[in-house]
Amino acid sequence: MRMPKIIDTDYLVIGSGLAGLYFASHASKHGKVTIVTKRSLRDGTTVLAQAGIASVLGDDDSFEAHVNDTLITGAGLCNEDVVRLTVESGPDRIKDLVDNFGVVFSGQKEGKFDLGLEGGHTKRRVVHIEDFTGEGLMARLEASVRRNTSIRIIENTMAVDLLSMSKYGGGNSCFGAFVLDRETNTIDTIIARSTIIASGGAGKVYLYTSNPDTSVGDGIALAYRAGAEIENMEFYQFHPTCLYHPNAKSFLISEALRGEGGVLRRMDGTAFMSSYHSRGELAPRDVVARAIDSELKKSGDDSALLDMTHLDGVFLEHRFPNIFKKLIEFGIDMRESPIPVVPAAHYSCGGIAVDQNGRTNIQNLFAIGEASHTGLHGACRMASNSLLEALVFAHRASDAVKECELVRPGGIIPWKSGHAVSSDEGVVVSQNWDEIRRTMWNYVGIVRSDRRLARAKARIDLIRDEIRNYYWDFLVTPELLELRNLALVADIIVHGAQRRQESRGLHYNLDHPEKSDFHKRSTVLFRGVGPCHS
Ligand code: SIN
């Protein structure tokens, strides 16, 4: 333990994926930026993104078509103005990446690109870097922020709680955060004119996920505790095709494979998607994930198969080099045998409610990327719209923060650990962590019911009581902070799912199998109207 520090900055960014780094690059033109990230800069979700960025770039495409596809996939809950604004901003953001960050997309030549196709899209519009788009983008953005002298990067540091004027008898305004330096276990204070949450989603809430270990929903939990509005968290997206293999931890098999003609089959070799949707394998993602889930429940099989064997082997090797290589490592040659796949939690369509510039309801607090809810995705996100949203809203927020003025108290009350002593009960953390994830998978997964949700609620309540007692008794550790956040986010998802007594998009409840006009609106939760915040 060392002496705690107080750090002053203009803009504090919590998280270091595409949204955070892109915001930082643009905001650094008019202020000092500090990025805190709980592991290393690249340990987030963006790096794992395979498919790409959806944007209208093809000659046969139009803004109208992209808007319509997004609205249809979003099942009645998208904000049409936000959809239009995002779609129409796409080509400029792609141009910025190419011209100013040196990104080179596949097939790039004189403003033209090789464009991929994915579920829900009626046109080819996914600009990509082979099948490792996230890795390619992060390499360029990381290089750019690391050489920028107006950007300070603090790794291995985790936000504990936001600093709020309400604790000082002021209004609901944010002026930074307490952060935990994981190496020294010291809690520092960062004071900022505006604070930007860019910490991604919460796939780790579920037992099986395509997300990395860092996706715990920290930012959403921080914002909720500070009084922010959280919108539509019941819409958790399950990716239909993650690799099913005992040694593969969360390896995604991109939807782009189905875009190039991949066929989903039962273990006995029969194709099944055409009996679920007229667009077959390219139906919106909620439909495909539910179809696989239903097939597995009927057959008792452990996985479905994604068959690419009818496609040209040379093409597959070149179009999907990353997936091809990874599968070979697992002993699967996709040119010759079908790929075993299962659905897994993938993307949070809900998040911290923001306006068209990424502003939350708390003064000087912004949210961008997967942690936010802009209104783009509605009840189901269309593939590859998320990187687009991250770019568009990070850019808009980087402009909006110019107007923020620092609102802070004269003296800052430092973090207090009270009479806490070091915990030697790590088992409490691991036990509760596993229980939350299993409960969420079994009761709040692809198919829900009133009874399953009630069971989940009862268990999560008990776990949260135990964490609450433990949290204030012991010194905080990164594991305990993550557990506390994970449990709160799980509670928010269950709460949202219980309120939504209908089936729409990604939320499917056996007791309410139809859409209802009454529920054609957002679920907005905040302290006092959602789960207990502590
Ligand atoms: C994928 O490559 O299938 C993931 C794309 C996405 O989630 O948008």
Using alpha carbons, list the distances in angstroms from residue 88 to 78, 81, 272.
16, 11, 36
- Asked if residue 45 has its Cβ within 6 Å of ligand 1, the reply is no
- The more confident residue out of 471 and 296 is 296
- Cα(129) to ligand 1 centroid in Å equals 13
pLDDT at 85: 98
**CA dist., res. 219 & res. 29, Å (int):** 25
- Residue 419 pLDDT greater than 70, yes or no: no
- The more confident residue out of 73 and 471 is 73
- Asked if residue 383 has its Cβ within 6 Å of ligand 1, the reply is yes
Neighbours of 281 (CB within 10 A): 24
- Asked if residue 210 has its Cβ within 6 Å of ligand 1, the reply is no
Lowest-confidence pick of 234-248, 291-305, 327-341, 461-475: 461-475
Mind listing the pLDDT tens digit for each residue in 4-58? 999 999 999 999 999 999 999 999 999 999 999 999 999 999 999 999 999 999 9
347 Cα nearest atom in ligand 1: 7
- Cα(383) to ligand 1 centroid in Å equals 5
Q: At what angle do helices 478-499 and 426-443 cross, to 10 degrees?
A: 20
Average predicted confidence (pLDDT) for the chain: 95
Mind listing the pLDDT tens digit for each residue in 75-99? 999 999 999 999 999 999 999 999 9
Helix (H, G, I), strand (E, B) or coil at 368: coil
241 Cα nearest atom in ligand 1: 3
Which residues are catalytically annotated? 285
Residue tagged 């999560």 (tokens): 460
Judge contact between 221 and 488, C-beta under 8 A: yes
- Cα(240) to ligand 1 centroid in Å equals 10
Mind listing the pLDDT tens digit for each residue in 45-71? 999 999 999 999 999 999 999 999 999
- Residue 501 pLDDT greater than 80, yes or no: yes
- Residue 422 pLDDT greater than 70, yes or no: no
51 Cα nearest atom in ligand 1: 2
Which contacts (CB < 8 Å, 24+ apart) does range 63-71 have?
63/87, 63/88, 65/122, 65/123, 66/90, 66/121, 66/123, 66/125, 68/122, 69/120, 69/121, 69/122, 69/123, 69/382, 70/120, 70/376, 70/377, 70/378, 70/382, 70/385, 71/378
Query: Given CA atoms 122, 123, 125, 126 in this order, what sign does their dihedral have?
Result: positive
- Cα(124) to ligand 1 centroid in Å equals 14
Lowest-confidence pick of 138-147, 231-240, 425-434, 469-478: 469-478
- Asked if residue 46 has its Cβ within 6 Å of ligand 1, the reply is no
- Asked if residue 242 has its Cβ within 6 Å of ligand 1, the reply is no
- Cα(254) to ligand 1 centroid in Å equals 6
Nearest to 513 by CA among 455, 441, 450, 445: 450
- Asked if residue 82 has its Cβ within 6 Å of ligand 1, the reply is no
- Cα(49) to ligand 1 centroid in Å equals 6
- Asked if residue 131 has its Cβ within 6 Å of ligand 1, the reply is no
- Asked if residue 237 has its Cβ within 6 Å of ligand 1, the reply is no
- Cα(453) to ligand 1 centroid in Å equals 28
- Asked if residue 384 has its Cβ within 6 Å of ligand 1, the reply is yes
- Grade residue 470 by pLDDT with cuts at 50, 70 and 90: confident
Residue of 69, 251, 253, 255 with the most ligand 1 atoms within 8 Å of its CB, for mutation: 255
Kindly state the average pLDDT of the residues 451-455: 98
- Cα(189) to ligand 1 centroid in Å equals 36
What's 241-343's CATH class? alpha beta
Residue tagged 């990164």 (tokens): 478
- Grade residue 416 by pLDDT with cuts at 50, 70 and 90: confident
- Asked if residue 195 has its Cβ within 6 Å of ligand 1, the reply is no
- The more confident residue out of 302 and 474 is 302
- Residue 520 pLDDT greater than 80, yes or no: yes
- Residue 2 pLDDT greater than 90, yes or no: no
255 Cα nearest atom in ligand 1: 3
pLDDT at 528: 84
**CA dist., res. 45 & res. 239, Å (int):** 14
118 Cα nearest atom in ligand 1: 3
pLDDT at 140: 98
Mind listing the pLDDT tens digit for each residue in 180-237? 999 998 999 999 999 999 999 999 999 999 999 999 999 999 999 999 999 999 999 9
- Asked if residue 372 has its Cβ within 6 Å of ligand 1, the reply is no
What are the extents of the domains in the chain? 241-343, 426-525
- Asked if residue 348 has its Cβ within 6 Å of ligand 1, the reply is no
- Grade residue 420 by pLDDT with cuts at 50, 70 and 90: low
Question: What pTM did the predictor assign?
Answer: 0.97
- The more confident residue out of 469 and 315 is 315
Residue of 211, 243, 252, 347 with the most ligand 1 atoms within 8 Å of its CB, for mutation: 252
- Residue 241 pLDDT greater than 70, yes or no: yes
- Residue 126 pLDDT greater than 90, yes or no: yes
Which residue's C-alpha comes closest to atom 1 of ligand 1? 254
Mind listing the pLDDT tens digit for each residue in 368-378? 999 999 999 99
pLDDT at 86: 98
- Cα(46) to ligand 1 centroid in Å equals 11
Judge contact between 471 and 161, C-beta under 8 A: no
- Grade residue 529 by pLDDT with cuts at 50, 70 and 90: confident
Mind listing the pLDDT tens digit for each residue in 94-111? 999 999 999 999 999 999
Residue of 46, 118, 286 with the most ligand 1 atoms within 8 Å of its CB, for mutation: 118
What's 426-525's CATH class? mainly alpha
- Grade residue 428 by pLDDT with cuts at 50, 70 and 90: confident
384 Cα nearest atom in ligand 1: 8
- Grade residue 473 by pLDDT with cuts at 50, 70 and 90: confident
